[in-house]
Amino acid sequence: MANVLHIVVCAGMAPDPLQTLEPTTGPNGPGIKNEMVLPAVLDPWAASALYEAASLAAKNPGSKVWLVSLGPKAKLQQVMMTVAQKVGFELVPVDGPIGGFPDAHATAAALADAIEAIPGLDRARLLVFGGWESATRGAGVTLQLVGERLGIVDQFQGVDQITLREDGSFEVLERVEGGKHQVSVCAGAPAVLGWATGNLPEPRNNPQVGMANMRTIMPALQKAKSVALEANGLKYVAVNLPRQQRETRVEKNLSAEEIAREIVEWIEKDNR
């Protein structure tokens, strides 16, 4: 039973990538125009983490996977109708605002509180999975902040593979520059792993898995705790789409520093 794992996957939602997104500023701050009516998907980075978690749990009998997700209940229900058919998990929903503008610290606090409230969770067997990046905001710190709030100091980012050993320790491949991997060995749980794309394909839809998941997903959504994410001093002056502009110039002798300086000057001129 040494390799029984409790894996918690933190996953947000993102608008379907085929949709045209238009930022807007409303009474509650910046957001996406008509965001609540846009079809949503599970964040692709976090989806990779979920598939890796399910695969790891299947290889270690007795292990369990929880999916902790923050968003409006109506949107969570829509996304879960699809995700539930991929792999087995228990949903831990948090009813809160969607989108890429809430502060990462407030988001991490809500997720950490939800994880700590999971009944029967064994911290000695706990692995917290999530996306290394995000399709909504890409803050790059939310998962790390969740780990810090849970008191987990062993954290790995840009993970492509985890290999569990008989003694409970595991080997991790993390992406580094130059298309290479850094190989690390962790003595065991608890740990936080921010996944890149991993090595697994998207699982095929399985209606039987979906029906089994939905038996617990619907009651969980009805009991989802509501949270209000504080801005924590974060303020957006304005949000708008990048201006489309193409100015092509061929240069053969510019240094990297000169190219960078010109790009900065162009950005500053565009924002005046």
Interval 195-232: pLDDT, tens: 888 888 888 888 899 899 888 888 888 888 887 777 66
Dig out the tokens for 268 from the structure: 């500053």
51 phi and psi angles, rounded to 5 deg: -65, -40
Rounded alpha-carbon distances, angstroms, from residue 66 to 30, 69, 114, 232: 31, 10, 11, 28
Q: How far is CA 9 from the centre of its chain?
A: 8
Which pLDDT belongs to residue 148? Answer: 93
Instruction: Please enumerate in sequence order all residues whose Cβ is within 8 A of that of 36, keeping only pairs 6 or more positions apart, or say none.
Output: 72, 74, 75, 98
Q: What is the CATH topology of the domain spanning 6-226?
A: Rossmann fold (3.40.50)
Tally of CB atoms within 10 A around 111: 29
Which regions of the chain are under pLDDT 50?
1
Q: What's the pLDDT at 152?
A: 92
Residues 6+ apart with CB under 8 A from 252: none
3-state secondary structure at position 41: strand
